[in-house]
Structure 1
Amino acid sequence: MIAAHSLLPPYLISNWLAALPFPALVVGSDHRVLFANAHMNALFDELGPQNGYFDPQYLLDKSDERQPTQKVNNFLQSGEYVAKNIQIGFPPRNFFLRATRVVTEEDQEYFCCVLTPQKFLDDVDYSELLDTVSSLVMQMDIDGNIHYLNERVFEKLGYDLSQPELAVRHIRDIDRHYDESAWSERRQELREGRGVSYFTQFSRRDGSLMPVEVNVIPDRFSISRRFTLTAQDITEQKAVEDRLREALLQVKELSREYQRENRQLKQTIRQQGHAKEIISVDPGYQKVLRKVEQVAPTQTTVLITGETGTGKELVAGRIHALSYRADKPLITVDCSALPPDLIESELFGYRKGAFTGASEHKIGRFQAADGGTIFLDEIGEMPLGLQTRLLRVLQERTFTPLGGTRPISVDVRVIAATNRDLRAEIDKGTFRQDLFFRLSVFPIHNPPLRERPADIGPLLWHFIQKFNVRLNRKVTKVEPAVMDLLSSYPFPGNIRELENLTERALIVSSGDTLRQADIRLEVGALKAGPGPEQPVWQQPSQEELLTLEEHQRQYIAYVLELTGGKVSGKGGAAGILGMNAQTLFGRMRKLGLR
């Protein structure tokens, strides 16, 4: 208990008493109740009207013959400490009463009473109890000068309790954000008897900062206008808020990332909606297309092989378009176009802080393709170390982003493509054999253009129509010499080379006719002809030029001749031309074919 003549401010006592879970009050020398907590007020309600006074009989034993007033006066004068069992309330209940005198700096006398349901805290000092609260408690005047600090202030701010003279003397000494103009406003509120609350940071003796929630309340017992400041350490609360804020930022970053990825996926889906059809009338290439139709409805991993420029990505797109995943994304990764140290992060994504420059989360291509298909073009260029991770993904369908700790499961079909001989790469030790077998469950070889000569004409007209629009040209005729020239050319660059030379030819062409003089080929790639470097061509006459319609008529007639006039069904012209049989019948009628 607090000793007699204690200089501890009474409002600090009442502030602590208010939080006690049992009845407590502060009484003046005239027996007037200056403070009663909620539990004490409940008892007063049971006892009937008290008129603001505390009956001193509760300080006496039944056997005590002294008059109550005399007892209280003796108690106040001598600082006598009361500790006794009493009955109070209705119906009467047993309490253990403790009471002691408090003397303020202004020589005002009070005594504090606490009623506990059982005898405990016998030897506890009120000041010790005040020092056990988690709050930092100070008494200060209107100018911010500090007159009292509880032990928690010393402990939290790092001051030596044995050297109180070294502790803070003014609120500005510890308030990191002390502002005189703000305190002027607070003073006015305090003078008017109102409390103030705010958040700030207290400076510790070592210079570190502690976030606190501050409450300042006028001390109504103090003649010299003192104020009680309590500060609650909210370091953990701020840490939780900071973690929550960081989590919200991460959610926003992820949301932005997913929005970006969503836009990319929508663009991919739109592109798939306008996916290029595979243009082919070559009988040999129909076998490739039949393999595509066979494997498309399955979930089987496909390995597409073939030279550069043969349209392996078109085959992959066709497989995806014919699968049940067609309404989901097709994500393409060109393994040869990415630096080796970036392929892993592109495929599997990363978490913020995973490496220098990773300022936000990024999902990888595998996660973006979830539910759909991922096309790994030029798989032979993948670094050997990353092949191990890819093999694990193919086996387990899970992966962990760079810097992440939790694996992510995905439902992705894998289609890979390469222009390399992977078996030779295995022999050289640059490609894993187990990965090769995992990828080549269903291999499809995409032949070069020189092995599908029947497709040169249809592809040429496809590119002419494409670049007519792009280049604002109106080419509708092709010299026969052009077809003869292209048919004798081996196309080392395959379909991509044909596309490029068609674009160049239309750029330099004039009029509505594509001429042999507009075509520029690689001389060293030409087949041997009459001359040492290239065949000799004669300029055709105007009568020899073919219209697009005539070219189509002749070509369809040629295919019908190959099929013996069979249009529909297996081995029919419609299947070779990649057309619906009814569409072909309509085209034949238009062109005058029977």
Structure 2
Amino acid sequence: MISDWLEALPFPALVIGSDHRVLFANGPMNSLFDELGPRNEYFDPQYFLDRADERQPTQKVNNYLQGGEYVAKNIQIGYPPRNFFLRATRVISEGEKEYFCCVLTPQKFLDDVDYSELLDTVTSLVMQLDINGSISYLNERVFEKLGYDLSQPELAVRHIRDIDRNYDEAAWSERRQELREGRGINYFTQFVRRDGSLMPVEVSVIPDRFSISGRFTLTAQDITEQKAVEDRLREALLQVKELSREYQRENRQLKQTIRQQGHAKEIVSVDPSYQKVLRKIEQVASTQTTVLITGETGTGKELVAGRIHALSYRADKPLITVDCSALPPELIESELFGYRKGAFTGANDHKIGRFQAADGGTIFLDEIGEMPLGLQTRLLRVLQERTFTPLGGTRPIQVDVRVIAATNRDLRAEIEKGTFRQDLFFRLSVFPIHNPPLRERPADIGPLLWHFIQKFNARLNRRVTKVEPAVMDLLNGYRFPGNIRELENLTERALIVSSGDTLRVADIRLDVGAGEATATSHHPALSLPKADDLLTLEEHQRQYISYVLELTGGKVSGKGGAASILGMNAQTLFGRMRKLGLR
């Protein structure tokens, strides 16, 4: 701040340290230095000897060096030598560092110079005030920046308290003491403009060395631009803080995405009836078309969504799943679209929604039939315009998201009841895929069983490598009302109670009727599939043996071979394979 003020002076001025090192010199002073010859990092205090002082000059210079105030009425410096009036003042910074501010005034200007005219040329706001804060002078910059009429100076402020919004008598008393000790003070505050608006400023107050009246010069720099930058930085830091809080949540979503992107490999099927579902998936995956997946609970609709995403050009982008049935109705909107700070009670920070998290990728709206009717309107608008506005927000956000929805409800019936919008149904069901129940794909029971055995062997530290034939007979005769999810849970439970390397019928427990009972005791009462759904024994054997061979990589005999898994002699299996046309 002091250097800014000195730079604006038309007279030579410099700042030197207690070790005589030159810390700053304004333009006129640099011109004097050029006249003196080669530059030196240190200033020779002998230049400050007062030619008008009859006393020993060394004593005055020593007093100056000891930190007092030094005034020389007539020093000679420059080439050719010229006479200057010198005033040097010790200043102590907030860091307790000592330095000296020196101003050289040409003798010819001493009689007629008007320092108010000089201060009016300074770009900073400059005031002269006494030790109590009463203002005696304001430069033109103060009038300009604070909105006062220069032609009516009597209307301007008369005390620092009138202009400093944060004025505090106790704080000013402390500053007053520092000024008495010859210490410069610096602080940040806000000046009040005439219209009541605020201007952030950086203030510096130093003793006024142009007069002997004990006044002080206050300079203030408008830091509105700097403050705006700081505010933007602070806002950016808040956003970073918000994003860091979202990190764990997004990390969980990423892990979910990784799992779901692997679903293309987890769709296990050899049943011919399911192949048309897989073909539909391949047909629609490469497009941006909205897909509606229907099917009973537990059929693996999320696997179909995962496969569509994995086969699309969006596969390297997020797949975000929203279970509409798991969220309270009042939270679904904020979960989907996010919210801004202050949008509602408890909204202390910004939060991005699932649609924004899925930008560039896919959002899977599971159980879409559970979505409240009012929110269906917003979803329809997002599907049509590809934009949405967070709760409490004012600016729409544009997203590039593919929407896949799923439901176990009959949405046409829901439309008839008035609980689902017909226009939303048409928008979602551009390409419908029906995921059939497990009872309609019986050839997949065996492959799925082995898939889950391998999965839970690793998780439960089991080593089941064989299945009793009676187990397959039991499962093939069961209708699986819970579909694939029920088979998965059944397999996990069976491996927990199993012992050895063989899964036995006694390990299997099926939910029959209202209660749970052992499969052996209730086998006669199990519901049997319709005759049209049954495969011939030969076809079933062919598909099942093919699947086991696929699991073993074509290995038939030896440890981990298909014969070991099927509980058959290797030669017997070779003979069965020839009979079934397998190679």
TM-score for both structures, normalised by structure 2:
0.64
CA distance in 1 between counterparts of 2:158 and 2:313 reads 81
Partner residue, 1:253:
241
**What are the Cα deviations for residues 166-190 of structure 1, in whole angstroms up to 9, with x where unaligned?**
9869x99934672766665554445
2:299 partner letter: T
Q: What's the offset of the Cα at 1:511? A: 3.2
Map 1:125-274 to 2 at 5 A. 135=125, 137-141=127-131, 144=132, 146=134, 148=136, 150=138, 174-175=167-168, 178=171, 184-190=177-183, 196-200=185-189, 211-231=200-220, 236-237=224-225, 240-241=228-229, 243-253=231-241, 255-256=243-244, 259-260=247-248, 263-264=251-252, 266-272=254-260, 274=262
Judged with a 3 Å threshold, the aligned counterparts in structure 2 of structure 1 residues 223 and 167 are, in CA distance, closer, same or farther, namely closer
Q: What's the offset of the Cα at 1:245? A: 3.6
Q: 1:411 aligns with which of 400, 409, 416?
A: 400
Q: Which moved more, 1:382-391 or 1:515-524?
A: 515-524
Q: What's the offset of the Cα at 1:296? A: 1.8
Preserved CA contact (<8 Å) 2:127 2:135: no
Partner residue, 2:481:
492
Q: What's the offset of the Cα at 1:451? A: 1.5
Judged with a 3 Å threshold, the aligned counterparts in structure 2 of structure 1 residues 414 and 220 are, in CA distance, closer, same or farther, namely closer
1:282 is the counterpart of 2:275: no
**What are the Cα deviations for residues 519-555 of structure 1, in whole angstroms up to 9, with x where unaligned?**
22223179xxxx9975289xxxxxxxxxxxxxxxxx9
Judged with a 3 Å threshold, the aligned counterparts in structure 2 of structure 1 residues 177 and 285 are, in CA distance, closer, same or farther, namely farther
CA distance in 2 between counterparts of 1:147 and 1:439 reads 73
Judged with a 3 Å threshold, the aligned counterparts in structure 2 of structure 1 residues 277 and 575 are, in CA distance, closer, same or farther, namely farther
CA distance in 2 between counterparts of 1:294 and 1:204 reads 68
Partner residue, 1:515:
504
1:401 is the counterpart of 2:394: no
Indicate the RMSD between aligned Cα atoms, in angstroms: 5.0
Preserved CA contact (<8 Å) 2:134 2:159: no
CA distance in 2 between counterparts of 1:513 and 1:478 reads 5
CA distance in 2 between counterparts of 1:575 and 1:291 reads 27
The alignment partner of 2:395 has SS state of coil
Preserved CA contact (<8 Å) 2:548 2:562: no
2:232 partner letter: L
1:477 partner letter: K
CA distance in 1 between counterparts of 2:326 and 2:381 reads 23
**What are the Cα deviations for residues 287-316 of structure 1, in whole angstroms up to 9, with x where unaligned?**
222222222222221111000001111111
Q: What's the offset of the Cα at 1:379? A: 0.7
Judged with a 3 Å threshold, the aligned counterparts in structure 2 of structure 1 residues 258 and 380 are, in CA distance, closer, same or farther, namely same
Q: What's the offset of the Cα at 1:327? A: 2.1
Preserved CA contact (<8 Å) 2:292 2:428: yes
Judged with a 3 Å threshold, the aligned counterparts in structure 2 of structure 1 residues 238 and 424 are, in CA distance, closer, same or farther, namely same
**What are the Cα deviations for residues 264-287 of structure 1, in whole angstroms up to 9, with x where unaligned?**
454245324543521122221222
Q: What's the offset of the Cα at 1:444? A: 0.9
CA distance in 2 between counterparts of 1:442 and 1:495 reads 24
Preserved CA contact (<8 Å) 1:253 1:361: no
Partner residue, 2:409:
420
1:140 partner letter: D
1:368 partner letter: A
The alignment partner of 1:491 has SS state of coil
Q: What's the offset of the Cα at 1:49? A: 8.1
Q: 2:429 aligns with which of 440, 454, 458?
A: 440
Partner residue, 2:330:
341
Preserved CA contact (<8 Å) 1:280 1:458: yes
Q: 1:294 aligns with which of 269, 283, 299?
A: 283
CA distance in 2 between counterparts of 1:392 and 1:163 reads 57
2:384 partner letter: Q
CA distance in 1 between counterparts of 2:254 and 2:158 reads 71
Preserved CA contact (<8 Å) 1:261 1:368: no
**What are the Cα deviations for residues 167-225 of structure 1, in whole angstroms up to 9, with x where unaligned?**
869x99934672766665554445xxxx55433467999x9997542222333343343
2:463 partner letter: K
Larger Rg: 1
Preserved CA contact (<8 Å) 1:269 1:327: no
Preserved CA contact (<8 Å) 1:478 1:514: yes
2:330 partner letter: D
Judged with a 3 Å threshold, the aligned counterparts in structure 2 of structure 1 residues 156 and 324 are, in CA distance, closer, same or farther, namely closer
1:381 is the counterpart of 2:370: yes
2:464 partner letter: V
1:395 partner letter: Q
Q: What's the offset of the Cα at 1:145? A: 6.1
Judged with a 3 Å threshold, the aligned counterparts in structure 2 of structure 1 residues 218 and 486 are, in CA distance, closer, same or farther, namely same
Judged with a 3 Å threshold, the aligned counterparts in structure 2 of structure 1 residues 364 and 16 are, in CA distance, closer, same or farther, namely closer
Judged with a 3 Å threshold, the aligned counterparts in structure 2 of structure 1 residues 432 and 575 are, in CA distance, closer, same or farther, namely farther
CA distance in 2 between counterparts of 1:165 and 1:310 reads 82
Preserved CA contact (<8 Å) 2:466 2:502: yes
Identity %: 63
Q: 1:473 aligns with which of 462, 471, 482?
A: 462
Partner residue, 1:320:
309
CA distance in 2 between counterparts of 1:172 and 1:312 reads 64
CA distance in 2 between counterparts of 1:511 and 1:17 reads 93
The alignment partner of 2:420 has SS state of coil
Map 1:36-47 to 2 at 5 A. none
CA distance in 1 between counterparts of 2:174 and 2:408 reads 76
Preserved CA contact (<8 Å) 1:211 1:238: no
Partner residue, 1:569:
none
1:317 partner letter: G
1:452 is the counterpart of 2:441: yes
1:503 is the counterpart of 2:496: no
Unaligned runs of 5+ in 2: 12-26, 36-78, 86-109, 527-534, 564-569, 579-583
Q: What's the offset of the Cα at 1:112? A: 4.3
CA distance in 2 between counterparts of 1:340 and 1:215 reads 58
CA distance in 2 between counterparts of 1:582 and 1:147 reads 95
Preserved CA contact (<8 Å) 1:333 1:377: yes
Judged with a 3 Å threshold, the aligned counterparts in structure 2 of structure 1 residues 140 and 173 are, in CA distance, closer, same or farther, namely farther
CA distance in 2 between counterparts of 1:575 and 1:588 reads 8
Preserved CA contact (<8 Å) 2:136 2:158: no
CA distance in 1 between counterparts of 2:492 and 2:165 reads 78
CA distance in 2 between counterparts of 1:321 and 1:166 reads 72
TM-score for both structures, normalised by structure 1:
0.63
Unaligned runs of 5+ in 1: 1-14, 25-36, 55-108, 115-125, 538-554, 563-572
**What are the Cα deviations for residues 13-64 of structure 1, in whole angstroms up to 9, with x where unaligned?**
xx999979xx99xxxxxxxxxxxx98xx99xx9xx9895599xxxxxxxxxx
Q: What's the offset of the Cα at 1:242? A: 5.3
CA distance in 1 between counterparts of 2:464 and 2:6 reads 99
